[in-house]
Amino acid sequence: MSLTPLLPGALNDRGQSMTLGVMGGGQLGRMFVQAAQAMGYVTVVLDADPASPAGLIAHHHIRTGYEDPQGLAELAQRCDAITTEFENVPAAALRTLAAQRPVAPSADCVAVAQDRIAEKAHFSQCAAISGVHPAPNATIETAGQLAAVADNLLPGILKTARLGYDGKGQIRVKTRAELAAAWEQLGRVACVLEKMLPLQSECSVLVARGADGQVAVFPVQNNTHHDGILAITEVHEGAVPVDLAARAQASTVAIANHLGYVGVLCVEYFVVDNGRGGSDLVVNEMAPRPHNSGHYTQNACDVSQFEAQVRALAGLPLPTPRAHSPALMVNLLGDLWFQPNGVRAEASEQPVSPPWAQVLALPGTNLHLYGKLSARPGRKMGHLNITGATLAKVRGTAAQVLTLLGLPALD
C-alpha cells in the first residue's frame, strides 16, 4: 500500500473527494461507512443485496456479487482505497482490486483467516515470539489423516477448514467413531480437529495496524457466548487478569506484524485451566475486520474500531485508543423481536419491537440497530452498549436491561 495519506476532505488526482470503498454490505460495513462519512469521506459499498445495511446509507451502492468483473471495475474506478467487512469475500477479488487500488487488509491476509489450517500454522509460527499457542490440533483432509489422529486429541471439536462462523461447521466428538461420523456429516471436506481444553473464559483483542507498521492496541475484551454466538462483552480493569491481558495484546500484535497486516484485526483467545491451579492463554481464531466484541468502542473509547479501520485504510495516524469508562455490550439477535414485552414465549407470528423506551430510559444505554428490514431468530439485528462511571453502575444497568429483554442474567 502507498504510505501517502488519503486526507479527509481532500480531492484526489481525478478532482473528486477522497472515496473509500468496502466489500460487503452488512452491519460492519454500515458502521465503517458511518465512521468514514463522519470524517468527510465519500463511501462506496459493493454488495448484491439491494437492501444491505451498508448499501442503504453509502453514497454509492454497487449491486453486484463479489466476483462480478464489472462491479469490481466500478468499485476500483470510484474509490481511492478499499477494505472488506466480511472475511469470506473471495481473496481473488481482493487481488483484482489491489492491482488498481490500495486494499487493506490484503488478499493474502484474508486468505489465511479463511482457512483454519493456514491460520493454525500462522499462530504456531507466531507462538515462537509470543509464547501463546493454539490448542493441540490435527488437519484432516484424507482418510489416512483421519486414521492417524492421535488419541490424546479426543475429546475434541471437528471444525471445517473454511466457511465456518458463529459455531457453524463445528461438531464435538468424544470417540474415534464419533470423529469419523462427524467428518462424514461435514461432507469429508478439509477440517481441523482441536483438542477440547478446560475452558474458563474467552477473550479477544483488537489491533489496528497501518502500512507504516504503526500499531494501536485496544483493551482486552472478556466475552460470553451462548450457543456459539457472542452474547456479552465486558471491558474494564480486571475483566481479564492483568498478566493474561498483556500476553493476549502482545500475541495479537505479533500476529498482525508477522502478516504485515494493514487494517483492524481481532484475535480471539481461550483462557484455560493450566492444571497447576492457574490459568493459561490459547489462541483460537482471527477475524480480518472489526468484530462484534469491539462494538463497545463506539461509546467507551475516544477512537472506535470503525474509526481505526478508516484511519488504517487512509494512512492516517493511529493513536492508542483510550477507554474512558467501563463498558458492557449486549448482542441483540432477532429472537428478541419474537419475545413480546421481553417475556420468553412461543414465537409470535409477527415480530414485535422490544421495549426500547424502557431500555433507553436507563442511564448509559446506547442502542445501535443495523437497519435490517426484517427480524429472524438468530439474526444479528443490533447491539446495546452500556457505559457508566463505575463498573458497579454498568453491571447494575446491564442487569436491568437483560431483565427487560428477557435475556440470561450476568454471571
List per-residue pLDDT tens for the chain, 411 residues long. Answer: 667 899 998 999 889 999 999 999 999 999 999 999 999 999 999 999 999 999 999 999 999 999 999 999 999 999 999 999 988 899 999 999 999 999 999 999 999 999 999 999 999 999 999 999 999 999 999 999 999 999 999 999 999 998 766 567 899 999 999 999 999 999 999 999 999 999 999 999 999 999 999 999 999 999 999 988 999 999 999 999 999 999 999 999 999 999 999 999 999 999 999 888 889 999 999 999 999 999 999 999 999 999 999 999 999 999 999 999 999 999 999 999 987 655 555 545 688 999 999 999 999 999 999 999 899 988 999 999 999 999 999 999 999 999 999 999 998
**In 303-377, where does DSSP find H-type helix?**
305-314, 356-360
Quote the pLDDT of residue 58: 98
Is 371 annotated for ligand binding? Answer: no
Between the alpha carbon of residue 173 and those of residues 39, 145, 183, 186, 193, the distances in Å are 49, 16, 10, 13, 9
Is 339 annotated for ligand binding? Answer: no
Is 243 annotated for ligand binding? Answer: no
Domain 19-103: state its class.
alpha beta
Is 194 annotated for ligand binding? Answer: yes
The x, y and z cell numbers of residue 189, run together, are 471436506
Is 315 annotated for ligand binding? Answer: no
Between the alpha carbon of residue 117 and those of residues 49, 113, 194, 378, the distances in Å are 31, 9, 11, 28
Quote the pLDDT of residue 1: 61
Is 406 annotated for ligand binding? Answer: no
**In 62-142, where does DSSP find H-type helix?**
69-78, 91-98, 107-114, 116-130
Is 284 annotated for ligand binding? Answer: yes
CATH of the domain spanning 199-405:
3.30.470.20
Is 169 annotated for ligand binding? Answer: yes
Tracing cell 432477532 back to the chain, one arrives at: 334
Rounded to whole angstroms, the Cα distance separating 299 from 391 reads 15
Is 141 annotated for ligand binding? Answer: no
Is 55 annotated for ligand binding? Answer: no
Quote the pLDDT of residue 346: 54
Domain boundaries, the chain: 19-103, 136-195, 199-405
Is 197 annotated for ligand binding? Answer: yes
Is 259 annotated for ligand binding? Answer: no
Question: Per CATH, the architecture of 136-195 is what?
Answer: 2-Layer Sandwich (3.30)
Quote the pLDDT of residue 344: 55
Cβ distance 75 to 44 under 8 Å? Answer: yes
Is 168 annotated for ligand binding? Answer: yes
Rounded to whole angstroms, the Cα distance separating 2 from 317 reads 14
Common-topology check for domains 19-103 and 136-195: no
Closest C-alpha among 188, 152, 199, 154 to residue 173? 154
Rounded to whole angstroms, the Cα distance separating 363 from 385 reads 11
Is 196 annotated for ligand binding? Answer: yes
Is 151 annotated for ligand binding? Answer: no
Closest C-alpha among 205, 239, 226, 204 to residue 328? 239
Quote the pLDDT of residue 411: 83
Is 274 annotated for ligand binding? Answer: no
Quote the pLDDT of residue 171: 93
Quote the pLDDT of residue 320: 92
Sheet order of strands, 137-140 included = 137-140, 191-195, 156-160, 170-173
Helix (H) or strand (E) holding 381: strand 380-387
Is 165 annotated for ligand binding? Answer: yes
